[in-house]
Every structure is written in C-alpha cells, then in structure tokens.
C-alpha cells in the first residue's frame, strides 16, 4: 500500500506525533508555522521568499502542518506554495490597487458588520484564519486583532440585524468562522436564527481545504440544527482536493448543508483550462457545486496573481459544453468601492438575421434560432456556415 504525502510529511517532521494528535484540529492550530524558523525546517526557501518573510508588513504568515504537507519543499513556483508563502512582490503597490478594494469599510454599519446589498449583510466574526492566503482581499485586517471574537462586539452587530427587517440573508465570514469553537459558533447561529426576518444563514470558510480535521461529527450535528444553512467553500487548485478534504465535505453534505465552491482566478495557479476543469470536476465529486469563479480582487500587491478578464472568459468557454453544467461556475468581478458582484458571461450571440438570433455553440458552430416577437433587425451575420435547425415534422418557412 502506498504511503500518502501527508503521512510521509508527518513521519519526517513530526515523528513523535501519532494520528490522533495529527487529526486534532486544535493541535493543528497550536502548531501552525508562523515564522522563518518554522519554514526553514520544512522548505528550501528561495532568496525572494526568505526576504519576504523577514519583511512581513501587513498580512502575517500562517500555515497548518496539514497544509504544509501539500507544498513542494523544493519548488517555489508550485501553485499551492505561491498562494501561501510570501513573495516580495506583495509589497509593491500597482495602479488600481487598494487596501480595501471592495469598499467594505465605507459600508460598515457596526463592528464587523458590512451592509452593501439591500437584503444581505456580511458578518466578519473573527480576523483569524488557519492559513493566510497571499492574495487575501482582507489583508488589511486579517491577523491584525481587529475582530477578535468578542460577544459585546457581536451583540452590536446582532442589534443592527434585529432592527433592519429588510435583512433576509446573513453571511458569516472573517477571517474564518470555523476557527471558532463549537459553542461560540453555536452562540452566534442560535441568536441569528432567532431573528424572525432572517431567512438564510451562510458560512464562508476555507477550513475544509486547509484544516479539514476541524469538520468533526460534533460540529456537523450542531450545524444541522440551524437550517436552512448554506456554506461557501474556498478552493483554488486540484491539489487541495485530498482524501481528508473529501471526508470533511462529505460530512457537511451528509448534514444536509448545500455546499458551493468559491474559487479565485489566480495567474500561474489555476488559469489554464485543464487545471480549472480538474478543480471544478473534483469539487463536484466531493458534493461541492462550483458556483463562483472570482476575478482576483485588486488588493495591494496582488498584480502577480491577477489575470486579464479575457483569461477568465476563455476559461468559462473551455468549460461550457466540455463538462457537466453543474461544474461550470459563474465568473464574477467585485466592482471596486462596494459596487457588489458583477457576473461576466462570455457572449455566445453572434448576431441576428431578421427575426433569427445567430448563436455559437461550444464547438464554435453557428446556429439560427427563431426569436419569437423579435423585431426584424438589419442582417448582422452572413455566413454559409450557419446551421438552421428545423425540428422533425415541421417545414422550413424560408427563414
């Protein structure tokens, strides 16, 4: 029987630790790698990585031993390693980059509470994450101690939600809500669920990818009490879809929680069709439905991770018709300054011929579709390659 990469890593760097301790999420958090000495123990750092770790200014370093086992110890260009190990490029501010690209502070209505959309609020319940992503859109505050779990702060946010009956949807985020203990998380869920006008509860988390040990049977039993409860899971590369992560996702799904996959499009990480297809299909096998592919937000230092919009469009085109529709996410851009999420959908409309809409399928072929009630527009597409589909048993009217 082959030995997994994670097992080899544990035996090499934590030989005194048995499986029981390794699979204890609290042990994982207590033994996070947070400094140069810890990284030097497990990775051969490049000069640039070493310089960046010595200079950390905003976003701290944090890496669970479990997630560290997924990193290539010798290759600084490995996708997962690039997303977690600092680079000096993150200290360079480019035009169009912001500390708060989504304008969350301008829409903050109570400590940790952001009200941007009419019927939805974002509740930042903590600033702590098990593992810090170098492209994090909230690098201005995560790990800074601004949103340490505090019931007095939470009560101010809850009072606002109670007073605003238009709020139907509450999204718990941070940081990562799953860093909270079961009882503290339940304290929040119970109080939000008790507000009559709140219909939907959602939790955004990367824990199943970076700390799957946290998803215990006890946690899932508690979560089941607060339906309808939805969960957004954050994945960026197929290498994160390990057996441990699959077990965590299956536990959540078995608890009746609809799971959605939120990915961030990252240059050199998942911006090629094969990687994106494997990432989306792999999530679906774990009962996670990929639903958003986010353009990387324009946080300070994010330029090395940001692709062109056309790259994102081409990835969606490469998925449509080449995998099941459940595995095709919606490509989203967050409008700077708090404008909210805007979907960017590749156009499959090639033009019109009279009342016919000319559409292009996944293979590039053109078809005419009679558009009922459409006005007759000037001919926009003239091509001998247009295929006009006529259902069996009908006659072509000459369109």
Mean pLDDT of 16-30: 97
Mean pLDDT of 64-79: 98
Q: Taking Cα atoms as reference points, which of 191, 194, 149 lies closest to residue 174?
A: 149
Write down the architecture of domain 105-343 according to CATH.
Alpha-Beta Barrel (3.20)
39-53 residue pLDDT tens: 999 999 999 999 999
Mean pLDDT for the chain overall = 90
**Sheet of 113-114, strand order:** 108-110, 113-114, 120-124, 169-173, 200-205, 229-234, 259-265, 289-295, 330-335, 340-343
* Neighbour tally for 206: CB within 10 Å: 23
- Calpha distance 193→103 (Å, rounded): 28
Q: Please state the φ and ψ torsions of residue 299, each to the nearest 5 degrees.
A: -75, 155
pLDDT category at 307 given cuts 50, 70, 90 is very high
Domain ranges across the chain? 5-70, 105-343, 349-388
Residue 233: in which H helix or E strand, if any?
strand 229-234
Q: Taking Cα atoms as reference points, which of 124, 97, 129, 127 lies closest to residue 108?
A: 124
pLDDT at 98: 84
- Calpha distance 69→65 (Å, rounded): 6
Per cent of the chain over pLDDT 90 is: 71
DSSP sequence for 92-120 = PPPTT-BSSTT-TGGGEEETTEE--STTE
The model's pTM: 0.89
pLDDT at 1: 53
**399: exposed, middle or buried (Cβ count in 10 Å: 0-12, 13-18, 19+):** exposed
């Amino acid at each position: 029987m082959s030995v997994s990469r994670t097992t080899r890593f544990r035996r090499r760097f934590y030989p005194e630790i048995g499986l029981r301790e390794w699979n204890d999420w609290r042990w994982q958090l207590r033994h996070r790698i947070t400094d140069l000495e810890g990284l030097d123990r497990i990775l051969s750092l490049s000069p640039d990585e070493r310089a960046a770790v010595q200079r950390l200014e905003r976003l701290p370093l944090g890496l669970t031993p479990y997630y560290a086992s997924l990193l290539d110890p010798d290759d600084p260009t490995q996708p997962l390693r690039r997303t977690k190990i600092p680079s000096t490029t993150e200290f360079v501010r480019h035009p169009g980059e912001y500390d708060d690209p989504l304008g969350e502070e301008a829409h903050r209505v109570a400590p940790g509470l952001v009200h941007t959309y009419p019927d939805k609020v974002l509740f930042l319940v903590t600033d702590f994450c098990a593992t810090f992503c170098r492209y994090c859109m909230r690098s201005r505050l995560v790990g800074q101690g601004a949103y340490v779990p505090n019931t007095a702060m939470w009560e101010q946010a809850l009072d606002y939600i109670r007073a605003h009956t238009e709020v139907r949807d509450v999204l718990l985020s941070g940081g990562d809500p799953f860093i909270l203990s079961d009882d503290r998380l339940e304290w929040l869920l119970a109080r939000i669920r008790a507000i009559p006008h709140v219909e939907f509860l959602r939790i955004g988390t990367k824990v199943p990818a970076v700390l799957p040990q946290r998803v215990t049977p006890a946690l899932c039993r508690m979560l089941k009490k607060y339906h309808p409860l939805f969960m957004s899971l954050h994945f960026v590369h197929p290498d994160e879809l390990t057996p441990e992560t699959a077990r965590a996702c299956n536990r959540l799904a078995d608890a009746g929680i609809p799971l959605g996959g939120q990915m961030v499009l990252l240059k050199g990480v998942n911006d090629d069709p094969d990687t994106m297809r494997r990432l989306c299909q792999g999530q679906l096998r774990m009962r996670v439905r990929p639903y958003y592919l986010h353009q990387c937000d324009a946080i300070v230092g994010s330029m090395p991770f940001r692709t062109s919009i056309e790259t994102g469009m081409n990835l969606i085109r490469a998925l449509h018709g080449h995998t099941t529709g459940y595995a095709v996410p919606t490509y989203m851009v967050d409008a700077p300054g708090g404008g909210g999420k805007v979907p960017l959908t590749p156009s499959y409309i090639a033009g019109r011929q009279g009342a016919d809409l000319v559409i292009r399928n996944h293979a590039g072929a053109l078809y005419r579709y009679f558009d009922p009630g459409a006005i007759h527009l000037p001919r926009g597409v003239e091509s001998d390659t247009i295929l006009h589909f006529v259902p069996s048993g009908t006659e072509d009217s000459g369109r």
